[in-house]
Structure 1
């Protein structure tokens, strides 16, 4: 199944520099739906504007690392979890995403994460 959606974490991922905040913009420009999944109760309007769907706190009835949060978020994007790439900086959350069927990218540094997501979602340079 082709990977068509991007689900990202906030703290530790999007807060890791402008190039990380550019990644959801690039994904959307390439026609890939985007979602933010965060334990945070709110994010800035700048961050909100980067995503098609926001899942903050337990708004979908599940929280990370529960695999159900990724299934429900993918459904809000009109996709299955198996069609999504999940980027998070915590191993437990990546495990939950993988259990849901998503492809997980453990964020450690921007260059590596961006390179992996570009390949997985076939993003143009």
Structure 2
């Protein structure tokens, strides 16, 4: 059973209807699933981090940790911050190359093309 969800920001959580994804993430957290945001951004403002913190146990920005997607190390680092092995995590990104990198690091991968299809795939990976 999967115990961690790792989401990209731009292209996933910025899509129209992303409020449904945020709600889903919150519901997973209430069920004990650990969550992380993994972005190749250089960083985020303190205000942005405060607004994301209610949804994520860890916020990982490549510019702050010195390694970027699709390098294996960033997925392993993120899983480690969730106190989980990579094999217990699901990674969602709109870039196929980043999903492949996560899968090569041991995570399950979901290639985000729309909020609806991502929620359907996550529902299968995190059954209630």
Q: Work out whether the TM-score is over 0.5.
A: yes
Contact 1:9–1:87, Cα closer than 8 Å, also in 2: yes
Q: 2:86 aligns with which of 81, 87, 102?
A: 81
Q: Quote the offset at 1:119 in angstroms.
A: 1.5
Give the structure 2 partner of residue 5 of structure 1. 4
Deviation of the 1:38 alpha carbon: 0.4
Q: What do residues 19-44 of structure 1 show as CA deviations (whole Å, max 9, x unaligned)? A: 12222212101110000000121162
Structure 2 segments unaligned to the other structure (5+ residues): none
User: Partner of 1:53 in structure 2?
Assistant: 58
1:93 is aligned, of 82, 98, 103, to: 98
Give CA-to-partner distance per residue, 1:77-112, whole Å, 9 cap, x none: 010111000000000100100000100000001111
Asked if the contact 1:3/1:121 (under 8 Å) is kept, the reply is: yes
**How many residues are treated as equivalent by the alignment?**
122
Extract unaligned runs of 5+ from structure 1: none
Q: Which consecutive aligned stretches of 4+ in structure 1 deviate over 4 angstroms post-superposition?
A: none
Contact kept, 8 Å, 1:5 with 1:121, in 2: the verdict is no
Q: How big is the alpha-carbon RMSD for the aligned residues of Structure 1 and Structure 2?
A: 1.3
Q: Deviations over 1:40-84 (max 9, x none)?
A: 211623223210001012433421111111111101101011100
Match of 2:115 in 1: 110
SS in structure 1 at match of 2:64: coil
* Alignment-derived partner of residue 22 in structure 1: 23
TM score, norm. by length of structure 2: 0.88
Aligned to 1:62: 67
